[in-house]
Structure 1
Amino acid sequence: MKNLLQCFQITAPHKIQVRYIMLLITALYLFNFHVNDIWTPNESFYAESVREMFETGNFIDIQYNYRPRYNKPPLTYWAIALSSSIFGLNEFGIRLPIILMALGSIWLTYLLGKKLYSPKAGLYAMCIMAVSVQLIAVKQYASPEVPLTFFFTLTMYWFIRAYTENRNKYYYLAYIALGLTVLTKGYPYIIVIGGIIGFYLLLDNQFNLKVWFKKLLQIKLHIGLPIVLIIGLSWVIYMYLTYGQDFWEIFQHETFERAFTRDEKSMRPFFYVEVISWTILPYSLAFFVALGYYLFNYKNIRKELGFAFSWFLVMFIIFTAAKGKIPTYFIQAHPPMALILTAFLINKPDISKPFRLIKQYSFLLPGLIILGASFALVYIFSLSVIWYTVPLLSSVLIFSILRHHRKNEVQSQMIAVPFYAIIGAYILLGAYLKPLEQFRPYKGIGEIINSNENIDKDTPLQIDGTLIHNMPFYAERKVIRQDTLVNIIQYTQPTLALIREEHMNEFKDVEVLWEGYIYDFASESQFAKFIKASLKAEKGDYSDFAVFKLIYRQ
């Protein structure tokens, strides 16, 4: 019982504590991760491309909706295909590798904290990384952000082990991991990771260029770069030799020009400051306090957090300078942010009493606010009253932690309060994922189509004036998305179409196979807007939805 209480308070013996926290995080990440239909749009590209891989037996030439998809390298597709071959081509099999790589990224953050500082630091970094809002938001949807984070962090872990232990085998493992990073998202990440390592070597050697150059020779670039290029560019070379300029123009635009070619509209120097303000909630406020402390006491940076600071700073500069600015681009900076915040806790800087209070409340206050908001979530989501037990239990646990602590356990308290508060909120959000499916009828539409023996597999599905990216996956056929009403009317072959209700008077002698509401906004990826629309629909306001009818005409 004593060990259990210590586990809750994050003060248990290290191995016991790590097992408990990792088990809790794993349970959170697995909770209801497979209950939603394939999410539109980005997840749809990966799910459908993998389905077509199995359909054609070709796992190299990636297609979506039966057209070549040159946009991204193949490693995420292959990971999903491997999982689906074991667990089935369904939401569970498609999302499982993403969940596992998210957990792997959390574990690597723990190992980095343990390596750079102490076992307790690793534990704190693990907690911060695990509950960050942005990672939770993408942890279960099939897209390259989480695999990229995993291989990126793996590269950094092997590098710092090689550099601090002076062991060549770890350099080679780092280069293999970098090659896999490139095979996940593209060759610009050679520049990003190379910039981080190059700047860290400068910082660690006090900007002595002579020593820096010697360090560059020690990291085996002459062996490592060929390893990276062979692994990372193998698919690119194959695709260029097969498809030539058609492939290269799209791939180059998606992997380099879209991110790094500047225009005036990309001049948003504070974009990622705004992102940081929420992306690692509930620890964002504390991160700004920690970063402010280190920038003011810059002499401590090299000694206390040179590696993490180099990682964060180079990413911040590169992605601020880049044309493409999307919050998910910064997920790979979550590990160093967790490490910077951890260093701020572990190193116990000598600061004045007012700043100590600011430091303490920058952790505790967001946690207490989130705790209060959790009670409101049960009401807002119209969940059963039984779900009020989640914020109640969180409250009991948090106030127990606040009440029973010793002076040397304040650090654990500052980590534990926001950690448990936001886990409670995530459990409630996970509980709402299942009711949310009543407003996502895509799988049901696909089942109706595929169970109808009169509909030939070669008959495409035409969609009246909107984009529904996951319908190729569920309909298991080519889909003409955002088709015009005129094209559908004039189609001379057997017609299978999703038609807006107001256009139905244009069609005669058709069989209506299904009718219902479909979300009528550009994308479900703006999750908060979709939840808001769904909550309104639960109360009878379907203003964000449109009535569609699935028709078939022979």
Structure 2
Amino acid sequence: MFLMVVISMLYFFNFYVNDIWTPNESFYAESVREMFESGNFLDIKYNYEPRYNKPPLTYWAIAISSSIFGLNEFSIRLPIVIMALGAIWLTFLLGKEMYGQKGGFYALIIMAFGLQLLAVKQYASPEIPLTFFFTLTMYWFYKGFEKRSNLYLMGSYIALGLTVLTKGFPYIIVIGGIIGLYLLLKDWGKWKQLWRDVVFLKLPLGLLIVVVIGLSWVIFMYIKDGQNFWEIYYRETFGRALEKKSNGMKPFFYIGVISWSIVPYSLTFFYSIFYWIKNRESLRQVLFPIAWVLVMLIIFTISKGKIPTYIIQAHPALALMIVPMFLDTKSKHIGLKAINLTMSALLIVGTVYLIFILDLSLFSLLAPFLIVVLSIISAKRIGILELSKLLPFWGMLGFVLIFSSFLPRMEKLRPYDQIGHIVIDKYNIDQSTPLLLNSWLIHNLPYYTKRQAIRDYSPEMINEYAKNKETLALLPKKHLNKLDFKYEVIWEGLIYNFASESQFFKYILAVNDALNGNEEKFASYILIYKR
């Protein structure tokens, strides 16, 4: 429990200090703002246009939080952080259920600071809610199945319905495939037992529960908006998998993602594969996570649309495949010690490098120093093998602590809330006046300016628009001489010169360069207003 408190403190550290990220988080923040503005929580709209792309559960979670704490960065991200911690705790419970208390502990530390999970918990999107409800489904299924408990089994169907209400009905196929493969592997050759296990699942009742919960919104929206809704919804679900243009199957795409997504334990996972090949007589104890990982790899590899975040829901299974190897006290685990200690050393060196490259306080060096000192002390007390299992966790904790301390400084080059304050509070510009943008849509500006933003307005188009209308426009400063009407410059500053901040580490390097005088990745913008 103490360890979970430490993890929670780090997850909550500086999680709310940044403006809404672009583009993904902007869709959820602005859509929820428009829900409150219209009073309609069923029709999802972004930038005052229908947004049918995803089911509503993530929006609703944010709306509930915002109704309590007000609509702001804190309330928008709060349910995401809570559900991320929930997914970690569920992984602990699964590990405990499968391998005992110590197994739960190992599952917890492996899951907690996976690089990809740490990244996506920092912004509002469906990935974390999906991971939470997905893992809840798997936990309740496993517990219900192993204990022959109808209560937990029905709970798993409810959780699956919520999973579908978060990301869409393809996850019925994903989770159904995992459970089906698990039963097949477990009961291979015992066909009567397999049939009894299938009968126990009570599939007709379970699927009815899933459909009622998971597809209720889809059915409502189809009745309401018909084919307009269905074409977009289908394109964002099955269409991505079956019809999206692809450069090929890329059979090793998600293997590559795994190689970094659960750092600091990614290499440990690959090592565990060789461990299980060598100890295949004990393979039965990891059939459930094996089925979980295999089905997800197969389905998303076949899928034409490939996005790294699709694999996050496999993180608990990756951890559960590693845990029994950690529990094996008979093997010397020379390779395991070498991998984990090397990764820990790299993390400590990386943390020191991060402190210097981001020009952080030298006081920050205390974090890696303490990790080294505690490691030396612990090695004498618990031994090198046990230390090698824990040290990547503590090394990643220090890295994340240092990195999170840099987040507030990034806001010097993220002026979006400042622009909103000028438009709404200082000039009180009527909300019916749209924000005209010279090029791409800066996705979080509808949220901060509380109005529609219209993209791709050239200076000539702005001139034409301004002839007889109140005008608010954001454009690069270099285009200022192309405007032929009287206006007032109400804001001037730097904006990232790319449409997306989603390539996060590239963006951080650009921000750090700009803070140190190299502003080549940013452009000078002006916000003009004509009454």
Same fold (TM over 0.5): yes
Shift of 1:214: 2.5
Q: Which residue is equivalent to 1:416?
A: 390
**Structure 1 stretches of 4+ moved >6 Å:** none
1:67 and 2:49 equivalent?
Answer: yes
Q: TM-score, normalised by structure 1?
A: 0.93
Report SS of the residue matched to 1:496: strand
For residue 29 of structure 2, the aligned residue among 47, 58, 61 is: 47
Matches within 5 A, 1:147-546: 147-261=129-243, 263-301=245-283, 303-348=284-329, 356-406=333-383, 410-411=385-386, 413-453=387-427, 455-491=429-465, 492-507=468-483, 508-546=485-523
CA distance in 1, matches of 2:309, 2:395: 24
**Inter-CA distance 64–361: structure 2 relative to 1 (3 Å threshold):** same
**Inter-CA distance 56–96: structure 2 relative to 1 (3 Å threshold):** same
For residue 63 of structure 2, the aligned residue among 63, 68, 81 is: 81
**Inter-CA distance 421–236: structure 2 relative to 1 (3 Å threshold):** same
Question: In structure 1, what residue type is equivalent to 2:292?
Answer: W
Report SS of the residue matched to 1:376: helix
Instruction: Report if the CA contact (8 A) 2:221-2:229 is conserved.
Output: yes
Question: In structure 2, what residue type is equivalent to 1:307?
Answer: F
CA distance in 1, matches of 2:530, 2:49: 26
Question: In structure 2, what residue type is equivalent to 1:155?
Answer: T
Instruction: Report if the CA contact (8 A) 2:268-2:336 is conserved.
Output: yes
Instruction: Report if the CA contact (8 A) 1:363-1:418 is conserved.
Output: yes
The percentage of aligned residue pairs carrying the same residue is 52
Instruction: Report if the CA contact (8 A) 1:260-1:322 is conserved.
Output: yes
Superposed CA offset, 1:60-94 (max 9, x none):
00000000000000000000000000011000011
CA distance in 1, matches of 2:246, 2:450: 42
CA distance in 2, matches of 1:274, 1:454: 50
Shift of 1:262: 6.3
**Inter-CA distance 207–200: structure 2 relative to 1 (3 Å threshold):** farther
Report SS of the residue matched to 1:72: coil
Report SS of the residue matched to 1:404: helix
Report SS of the residue matched to 2:41: coil
Q: Which residue is equivalent to 2:127?
A: 145
CA distance in 1, matches of 2:178, 2:243: 20
Question: In structure 2, what residue type is equivalent to 1:196?
Answer: I
CA distance in 2, matches of 1:518, 1:263: 32
Q: Which residue is equivalent to 1:92?
A: 74
**Inter-CA distance 121–553: structure 2 relative to 1 (3 Å threshold):** same
CA distance in 1, matches of 2:246, 2:189: 33
Instruction: Report if the CA contact (8 A) 2:441-2:454 is conserved.
Output: no
Q: Which runs of 5+ in 1 are unaligned?
A: 1-18
Report SS of the residue matched to 1:462: strand
Instruction: Report if the CA contact (8 A) 2:16-2:73 is conserved.
Output: yes
Shift of 1:226: 0.2
Report SS of the residue matched to 2:215: helix
Superposed CA offset, 1:165-220 (max 9, x none):
00111110000000000000000000000000000000111254443233111111
Moved more, 323-332 or 396-405: 396-405
Moved more, 177-186 or 539-548: 539-548
Superposed CA offset, 1:431-453 (max 9, x none):
00000110100000000000144
Shift of 1:424: 0.4
Superposed CA offset, 1:109-144 (max 9, x none):
000000001100101101110000000001131100
Question: In structure 2, what residue type is equivalent to 1:325?
Answer: K
Q: Which residue is equivalent to 1:6?
A: none
CA distance in 2, matches of 1:319, 1:464: 37
Instruction: Report if the CA contact (8 A) 1:368-1:417 is conserved.
Output: no
CA distance in 2, matches of 1:549, 1:53: 30
1:38 and 2:20 equivalent?
Answer: yes
Instruction: Report if the CA contact (8 A) 2:81-2:121 is conserved.
Output: yes
Q: Which residue is equivalent to 1:10?
A: none
Question: In structure 2, what residue type is equivalent to 1:257?
Answer: G
Superposed CA offset, 1:275-314 (max 9, x none):
011000000111100012223544432x220111111111
Instruction: Report if the CA contact (8 A) 1:514-1:551 is conserved.
Output: yes
Superposed CA offset, 1:437-471 (max 9, x none):
10100000000000144521100001111221000
CA distance in 2, matches of 1:300, 1:38: 48
**Inter-CA distance 458–263: structure 2 relative to 1 (3 Å threshold):** closer
CA distance in 2, matches of 1:90, 1:417: 36
Question: In structure 2, what residue type is equivalent to 1:291?
Answer: I
Shift of 1:343: 1.6
Aligned length: 528
CA distance in 2, matches of 1:388, 1:151: 38
Shift of 1:472: 0.4
Instruction: Report if the CA contact (8 A) 1:96-1:140 is conserved.
Output: no
